[in-house]
Amino acid sequence: MLRATRGAGGDCLALESGDLAAFPVDELANCGLPVVLLLGAGGDDASRGVPALADRADGFVFADDDAATIRAVVASVTAITPALQVRDLSDGTARTINALSAEAGRIADALARLADQQRDGVAQQPVDAAFVRRLLKVRRDRERFFPAEIFADPAWDMLLDLIAAQLEGKPVPVSSLCIAAAVPTTTALRWIRSLSEAGLFIRQTDPADARRTWISLSPDAAEAILAWLRLFAGQFALR
């Protein structure tokens, strides 16, 4: 279902994931409004259209989000950010948000410590995009021997994919980042939202196509992940 929704800063379009398979994505360019994608709570990716529209959406809302969370997302895409507090949410939603936020914060803290080590002069090996791609391939090769779900680590896979793309000088659309996460699209989008809120990811509009969104690492996150990669390469004398 496509419908207009009023936010604190204006209107936006809300599009439910069940309608996406046959939805003309390019038509969104003509609406002149920000788009919020409404997704199911599970990770089964019921709609084939989710990845394509993820590149065009300005925000994501999930079926188990509390009303206060939904208002915050709608407000953010209409350029108004309310003071959302966890105490305003239902217990279940608060636990979900707290868990994702805590994990995203833990990752940010760990990356900051790695960046500090780099500045302190710890010996490191230089790394390039090919090295990062080999590391990602090794991570995928584990699935030849063990069930993929026991190794699910979407945040780390996305961090590696983004730094590889940065070293290659290539932009990364939301849909490609979801693929790199190696988890269902809905799960990947949850992580993208949480890591963006934690300041690790930056959303940027494609200057050649305002309907499309790129994801990149924040400068601090890029510095930190490069520090870890150099330390890792140095431990094993890998180039």
Domains of the chain as residue ranges with CATH: 1-89 (no CATH), 91-239 (1.10.10.10)
The percentage of residues in the chain with a pLDDT greater than 70, rounded to a whole number, is 61
Judged against a pLDDT cut of 60, whether residue 43 lies above it is answered with: no
Cβ count near 6 (within 10 Å): 10
pLDDT digits (tens, 9 = 90+) for 221-237: 999 899 889 888 877 66
pLDDT at 75: 79
Query: What's the token pair of residue 239?
Result: 């180039």
**Where residue 4 falls among pLDDT bands split at 50, 70, 90?**
very low
98 or 181, which is more confident:
181
**Where residue 76 falls among pLDDT bands split at 50, 70, 90?**
confident
- Rounded mean pLDDT of 28-49? 63
pLDDT at 89: 43
Judged against a pLDDT cut of 80, whether residue 190 lies above it is answered with: yes
75 or 119, which is more confident:
75
pTM: 0.68
Query: Does an H or E element contain 4, and which?
Result: strand 2-7
pLDDT at 31: 61
pLDDT digits (tens, 9 = 90+) for 107-164: 666 666 655 655 555 555 788 999 999 999 998 998 889 988 788 789 999 999 999 9
Judged against a pLDDT cut of 80, whether residue 188 lies above it is answered with: yes
- Mean predicted lDDT score pLDDT of the chain: 75
Q: Phi then psi for 228, rounded to 5 degrees?
A: -65, -45
The two beta strands, 10-16 and 2-7, are antiparallel
Number of H helices, E strands in the chain: 8, 6
Dihedral over alpha carbons 238, 201, 168, 219 (to 10 degrees): -80
pLDDT at 133: 95
Judged against a pLDDT cut of 60, whether residue 88 lies above it is answered with: no
- Round to whole Å and give the CA distance between 158 and 164: 10
**Where residue 202 falls among pLDDT bands split at 50, 70, 90?**
very high
Q: Please state at what angle helix 129-141 crosses helix 219-236, rounded to 10 degrees.
A: 70
**Where residue 1 falls among pLDDT bands split at 50, 70, 90?**
very low
